[in-house]
Structure 1
Amino acid sequence: MAVHTAAHHSRGQVLPFRESLLAMLGLSFVTMLVALDQTVVGTALPTIVAELRGFELYAWVATSYLLTSIITVPIFGRLGDYFGRKPFVIVSIALFTGASVLCGAANSMLFLVLARGLQGIGGGMLVGTAFASIPDLFPDSVVRLRWQVMMSTAFGIANAVGPSLGGFLTQYYGWRSVFYVNLPVGLLSLVFVFRYLPHIRHIELRGAMRLDWPGALLIALTLGSLQLFVEWVAQHGFAPRVIALLAVSAVSAFALVKWEHRCAQPILPLDMFRNRSLAALFRLSVLGGFAMFSLIFYAPLLLQGGFGLAPKDAGLVVTPLVVFITIGSIVNGRLITRIPNPNAMMFVGFGLLATSCLGIILSTRLTPHAMLMGFMMFGGLGLGFVLPNLTVFAQQTAGREHLGIATALLQSLRMIGGMFGAAMTGTLVTRMYASGVRHALDADGALQWLAQMRDPQILVNREAQRTLIDQLVHAGHNGALLLETARETLVGSIHAGIAVAMVVAVVSIWQCRRVPPIKIKRAAEPAVSAE
C-alpha cells in the first residue's frame, strides 16, 4: 500500500501528471459509457417495441433504469466515503457492461425492462462514485476545475454523437447493437480505472463499520415511490394507487429523517442540510434539473412535431444545446478562478437558461434555423456555467468527510428535478394538446379520429400523417387543415411547458442569492490514505 502524503497535495493533485491524465481518461470513458447509453437507447426504442411487441412496457425501458439509478446514487456515494471509491467504480463498470449485454440479448420486453433495471444499479453506482473521484485526485479546487474539463468534454461528445450513433447502429446493425456498443467502452474504462485510479479513503473508521441498511432501505422507498408517483400521475392522474405512492414516499422520508438522527454512522448525514450553502446548492440542483430536462426533452418535439422539421434538421438545430454545455464548462473553468466573485457565474448561467427558454417560447415555424440554434446555444452555455459550479461549490463546502454523499446527492436531486420537469411539462403538453385536438375534431364532426390524433407522435410520423389525411379527405373532411390545427395546438402546449421551465430558471436566479460567497482557493487537505 502506498500512502500519499500532504506533500503531494501541495501541488493540488495526488498523482503526477501522467498518472493523473490516465486516471482521468478512465473516468472520462466511464462518463461516456453512461451518457452514450442515455442518448442512443431513445433512438432505438420504437424499433425495439416493434420487434419485441410490448408497447405497454415502452415507458418502463426508461423508468426501470431511472428508478434503480436514482436509488443507488446516494447509497454508493456515501459508501464510497467510507471504503474508497475505486472498488465501487470497478464493480459498477462490470455490472453496467454485463447488464448492457443482457439488454442486447433480450427476447421480450419484460426481460429488457429487468435488464435495464440492473443496468440502472450499475449506472447509479457509477454516477455516485466516479464524479466524487475527481476531488480525490485533485484536492485543490483550482487544479480540479482545469482537469474537470476532460469529463465535461467526454459527456458533451457522448451527448452530441449519441442520437446519430443510435440511429446509425439501429438502421445498419439492428437495435441490439446500441447495447453491445457499451462493451468495448466498458472494457476500456475498466482497464484504465483498474490500473491508474488510486484507492483513497477519507474517513478513518474507529472499530467495526456497521452499514446503515435501514437508512439505505428508507432511501430506496422514499425515492423509488416518489419516482413512480411522478411517472404514474402523468399517465393516470390522481388515482388511489398513485396517491398511495405519494403517501409511502412521505412516510418513508419522515422515517428516514428520524432514523438518521439516531444512527451512529448514517448513510445520509443530515447535518449537511443544516449547512446554508449546501442546502441552497441542493435546491438549485433540483431547479436546474427541472429546467434542463424540460428543455432537452421537449425542444426536439417542438421542432419536429410543431415546426415540421425533418429529424436530421431538428437534430442539427438541437446540437448546440448539448455541444455548448461542454464549451460553457471549458469557459467556466477558465473564468471562475480569475473573477473575484465565482457565484456570479451561477447568476449568468441561469440567466442564459431563462433567455434560451424565452427565445424558444417566442419562436415560430418561420423563425430562421440560425436563430433557433442561437437560442439552443444560450441554453447549453448556461448549463455549462451552472452544472460544474454546483458540483465544485458543493465539494468545496461539504469537506472531505461528506464529499462523496454531497456529490451524489447533487446528481440524485438533479435527476429528481429533471423527473419532475419532464413529467410536469409532459402532463401539461399532453392535456393541452389532447383538449385542443378534441375541440378541433368535434367542431368538424370528426371525433372518430381522436384516438389516432391524440398522440403528438402522429405529427412526427409522416407516413402515418399521409394515411390519416387520406382517411379524413375520403370522409369529406379537410385533413390537411385539421392536421395543421393539431400542429399549432402542439406548438402552443409546448410553449406553455417551456414557459414553466423559464419561470423555474428565473426562480433559480433568485435562489442563487441564498448561496453564501464561495471562494475558489487552493487547499492542501490531506487524504487519510491512498492505496
Structure 2
Amino acid sequence: MLPFRESLMAMLGISFVTMLVALDQTVVGTALPTIVAELKGFDLYAWVATSYLLTSVITVPIFGRLGDYYGRKPFVIASIVVFTFASVLCGLANSMMFLVLARGLQGIGGGMLVGTAFACIADLFPDNVVRLRWQVMMSSAFGIANAVGPSLGGILTQYYGWRSVFYVNLPVGVVSLFFVWRFLPHLRHVAHEGKMRLDWPGAALIAIALGALQLFVEMLPKYGVSAQSAALLAMSAAAAFGLWKWEMRCDYAILPVDMFRNKALAALFTLAILGGFTMFSLLFYAPLLFQGGFGMSPKDAGVMITPLVVFITIGSIVNGRIVTRLKNANMMLYVGFALLAVSCLGVVVATHNMPRPLLLVFMLIGGLGLGFVMPNLTVFAQQTAGRAHLGIATALLQSLRMIGGMIGTALTGTLVSHLYASGVNLALEKDHALHWAGDLSDPQILINRDGQNALLAQLSAAGHNGAMLLESAREALVAAIHIGLALAALVAVVSLWQSRRVPPVRLKGPQEPVILAE
C-alpha cells in the first residue's frame, strides 16, 4: 500500500473523476424536461438516459478487463478526455437525435471510467476495512456533486439556458485530468508479455443482445406485439444465448461464466440489476413529476431532488462506519432496500398538495437506502471474487447495475408515455377537443410556459376551458409516473426478498498486493 500522502493525492484524483460523472448525472436529470421542451422530442426522452447507459454497459467490461491487464491509469485518463469532449457535443445539440448520439459517446467515456476508476480503489487499498475508510473521500466528492447538482442544474437551466449544464463538466474535467495524470500510480495485477487478446465477438454479442432488448422495450407499449417487436426480442434472446455459449469456450472471455456459477456473486449481480432498475427510475422520473406534474420551476425541482442524491453519500459514509462492526454485514442490504421501497411508495402517493417537507423526507429516505446498498454490493463482490477477478467483478457489477437502469428507465418511460397519452386523449374527447391532441400529447407542454400560454389562447378562442384541459394533462402525467414508480417500488421489494440469497460476507483481511508498473 502507498504512503499516506501518495494515497491521499491519488484518492483526490479518483474523487474528482467521480465528481465529474456524478455532477453530470444530477445536473442533466434536473434540466432534461426543459431540454425536451425546447428540442421537441418527448418520444426520445428515455433515450437520453438509455443511450448513455447502453454504451456504458458495453464498454465497462471491456475496459475492466483491459485495466486488469495493462493497468488502469491510461484508461482513466482517456475516459476523462472522451467524457468531457462528449459533454461539449451535448451542449451543442440542436435536435434530440443529436443529443442522444452525443450522450451515447458520453456513455463510452463513462463506461471506461466506471470500468477502471472504481477498481483503482481496490488496487490502492487491498484491505477491505481500510478501503471502506478511504471510500469516504470518494463518497464525499460524490456528495458534493450531488448536493450542488440538482440545484445547480435548475439555476443554470432557468437563468443561463440548458446548454450550460453540459459545459459545467469542462472545468471539472480539467481538474480531474490534472490530478489523475500527476498523482494516480500506474498499477496492474500481473506481469505480462505481448498483447492481450480481447473478446471482440463477446463484446459484439453483448451490444446486439442489449440493443435489441432496448428497442423491444421501447416499441412494445407503443405498437404492441408486432412482427418487428417479436423479431427484436428473438434477436436479443439469440444473441444472449450465443454469448453464453461463446463465453463458455473462449479462453479470453469478456464475461467469465465461472463467476456466474458462484452463488454469492450471482446473487450480488442479481441485486445490482434490480437496484439499478429502481435507482435510475427514481432519479430519472422524479424531476419530470415535480416539473411537469406538480408545476415546479427547474430550480424548485432541483431543491426537491437534492436530499435524494445528497443522502446517497451520507448513507455511504454512515454505512462505512457501521457495516464493519456488524456480525452480519448483509443486514445493511435489507435495511437499504426497505428504505428504497418506502421512498418509491412515498412518491407514488405524493400529490402537488403534499407538504414539501414530507416529500423531502421521502427523497431523503431513498438516498439513504441507496447509500446503504450500492457501496456494499461493490465491496461484497470484490471480497467474494478475490484478487484474480477483482477488476472484472467490479466492472460486471457496475455494468449489471446500468443494465438494470437501462431496463428500468425504458420500461418506466414507455409506460409513462403510453398512459399519459391515453389520459390526455380521454380528457380531450370528453371536451370535444381532440383537435388539440397533438399539442397536448407531449408532456413538454406542461414545462414550456410560453407554449402553454399560446395553447391556452387557442383553446379559449375555440370556446374550450384551456386551464382545465392543461390541469387534466398534469393529472394524467402524475398518474402515469405514479404507476411507473410503483413498478420501481415493487422491484425494490423483490430486491429485499432476494437479499436473503447473499451468503454472509466478512469484511476482514487484506488481499494480495498488486504489482507497481515501472
Specify if TM > 0.5.
Answer: yes
> Is structure 2 residue 503 aligned with structure 1 residue 522?
no
Residue of structure 1 equivalent to 2:474: 487
Partner letter of residue 429 of structure 2?
D
Q: Is the 8 A contact 1:65 1:118 kept in 2?
A: yes
**Which whole-Å deviations, capped at 9, do the CAs of 1:72-108 have from their partners, x for residues lacking one?**
0111112212222122112222232334445556677
Aligned-pair CA distance for 1:299: 1.9
Q: Which moved further from structure 2: 193-202 or 179-188? A: 179-188
1:365 equivalent in structure 2? 352
Relative distance call for 1:222 and 1:520 in structure 2 (3 A) is same
Matching residue of 1:73: 60
One-letter amino acid matched to 1:144: R
Match of 2:73 in 1: 86
From the superposition, tell whether residues 81 and 291 of structure 1 become closer, same or farther in structure 2 (CA, over 3 Å).
same
Report the Cα distance in structure 2 between the residues aligned to 1:170 and 1:183, rounded to whole angstroms. Answer: 17
Q: CA deviation at 1:308?
A: 2.9
Per the alignment, residue 500 of structure 1 pairs with 487
Greater alpha carbon shift after TM alignment, 401-410 vs 299-308: 299-308
Aligned CA distance change for structure 1 residues 471 and 54 (closer, same or farther; 3 Å): closer
Kept in 2, the 8 Å contact 1:468–1:479? The answer is yes
Contact 1:227/1:416 (8 A) holds in 2:
no
Quickly say closer, same or farther: Cα 1:477–1:116, change in 2 above 3 A.
closer
1:162-311 aligned at under 5 Å gives the runs: 162-169=149-156, 177-205=164-192, 209-233=196-220, 236-311=223-298
Q: What pairs up with 1:50-449 in 2 under 5 angstroms?
A: 62-104=49-91, 113-169=100-156, 177-205=164-192, 209-233=196-220, 236-449=223-436
Q: Which moved more, 1:60-69 or 1:403-412?
A: 60-69
- Identify the residue that residue 462 of structure 1 maps to in structure 2: 449
The question of whether the paired residues in 1 share the 8 Å contact of 2:53 and 2:403 is answered with: no
Name the CA distance, whole Å, in 1 between partners of 2:361 and 2:158.
31
Q: Higher mean Cα deviation, 228-237 or 150-159?
A: 228-237
Could you tell me which amino acid in structure 1 is paired with residue 205 of structure 2? L
Pairing partner for 2:26 from 17, 39, 45: 39
8 A Cα contact 1:230 1:419, kept in partner: no
Q: Distance in 2 between matches of 1:439 and 1:326?
A: 43
CA contact (8 A) 2:420 2:476 kept: yes
CA contact (8 A) 2:72 2:116 kept: yes
Contact 1:77 1:129 in 2 (8 A): yes
Deviation sequence 1:455-478 (CA, Å, 0-9, x none): 223233333333333333332333
Contact 2:40/2:444 (CA < 8 Å) preserved in 1? no
1:234–1:423 Cα contact (<8 Å) kept: no
SS at match of 2:501: coil
Q: Which amino acid aligns with 2:329?
A: P
Q: Distance in 2 between matches of 1:251 and 1:41?
A: 35
Closer, same or farther: CA 448–177 of 1 in aligned 2, 3 Å: closer
Moved more, 312-321 or 335-344: 312-321
Distance apart, 1:60 and its partner CA: 5.4
| C-alpha distance in 2 between matches for 1:125 and 1:269 | 19
Change (3 A) 1:176 1:309: closer
CA distance in 2 between partners of 1:236 and 1:58 (Å)? 17
CA separation of 1:171 and 1:302: change in aligned 2, threshold 3 A:
closer
After superposition, the Cα gap between the structure-2 partners of 1:357 and 1:32, relative to the gap in structure 1 and judged at 3 Å, is same
Query: Does the alignment pair 1:21 with 2:26?
Result: no
**Structure 2 vs 1, CA of residues 319 and 234 (structure 1 numbering), >3 Å: closer, same or farther?**
farther
3-state SS of 1:522 partner = coil
Q: Secondary structure at the match of 1:336?
A: helix
Q: For residues 452 and 75 of structure 2, what CA distance do their matches in structure 1 show?
A: 49
Report the 3-state secondary structure (helix = DSSP H, G, I; strand = E; otherwise coil) of the residue aligned with 1:401.
helix
Contact 1:79 1:267 (C-alpha < 8 Å) held by counterparts = no
Structure 1 CA distance for aligned equivalents of residues 335 and 90 of structure 2: 41
Q: Please identify, of 320-329 and 494-503, the stretch whose mean Cα deviation from structure 2 is larger.
A: 494-503
When residues 490 and 112 of structure 1 are mapped into structure 2, their CA distance, relative to the original with a 3 A threshold, is closer
Report the alpha carbon displacement of residue 300 of structure 1 after superposing the two structures with TM: 2.1
Cα distance in structure 2, aligned partners of 1:170 and 1:377: 24
Q: One-letter code of the match for 2:134?
A: W
Structure 1 Cα separation of the partners of residues 272 and 221 of structure 2: 22
CA–CA separation in structure 2 for the residues paired with 1:104 and 1:467: 27
- By how many angstroms is 1:175 displaced? 5.3
1:266 CA drift (Å):
1.6
Post-superposition CA distance 1:184-231 (Å, at most 9, x none): 322222222122222222245477632222222222322333334334
The Cα offsets for residues 399-429 of structure 1, whole Å up to 9 and x where unpaired, read as 1111111111111111111121112222222
**Residue 411 of structure 1: SS of its match in structure 2?**
helix
When residues 109 and 423 of structure 1 are mapped into structure 2, their CA distance, relative to the original with a 3 A threshold, is closer
Q: Which amino acid aligns with 1:349?
A: G
Alpha-carbon spacing, 1:202–1:235, altered in 2? closer, same or farther (3 Å): farther
C-alpha distance after superposition, 1:335-365 (max 9, x if no partner): 0011111100000000001111222222222
**2:468 corresponds to 1:476:** no
In 2, Cα distance between equivalents of 1:261 and 1:201: 26
SS of the equivalent of 2:498 reads: helix
Range that drifts further, 119-128 or 169-178: 169-178
CA contact (8 A) 2:424 2:472 kept: yes
Which runs of no fewer than 5 residues in structure 1 stay unpaired? Answer: 1-13
How many residues matched? 518
For 1:516, the aligned partner's letter is P
Distance change (3 Å), C-alpha of 1:426 and 1:175 = closer
**Which residue number in structure 2 is paired with residue 8 of structure 1?**
none
Aligned partners of 1:109, 1:305: CA distance in 2, in Å?
19
Could you tell which deviates more after superposition, 26-35 or 292-301? Answer: 292-301
Contact kept in structure 2, 1:71 and 1:224, CA below 8 Å: no
Unmatched tracts of structure 2, length 5 or more: none
- Output the amino acid matched with 1:288: G
Change (3 A) 1:48 1:344: closer
Q: Distance in 1 between matches of 2:347 and 2:225?
A: 31
Q: What RMSD in Å do the two structures reach over aligned CA positions?
A: 2.7
* Change in 2 beyond 3 A, CA 1:380/1:52: closer
For 2:326, the aligned partner's letter is: I
Q: Using the alignment, how far apart are the partners of 1:200 and 1:32 within structure 2?
A: 22
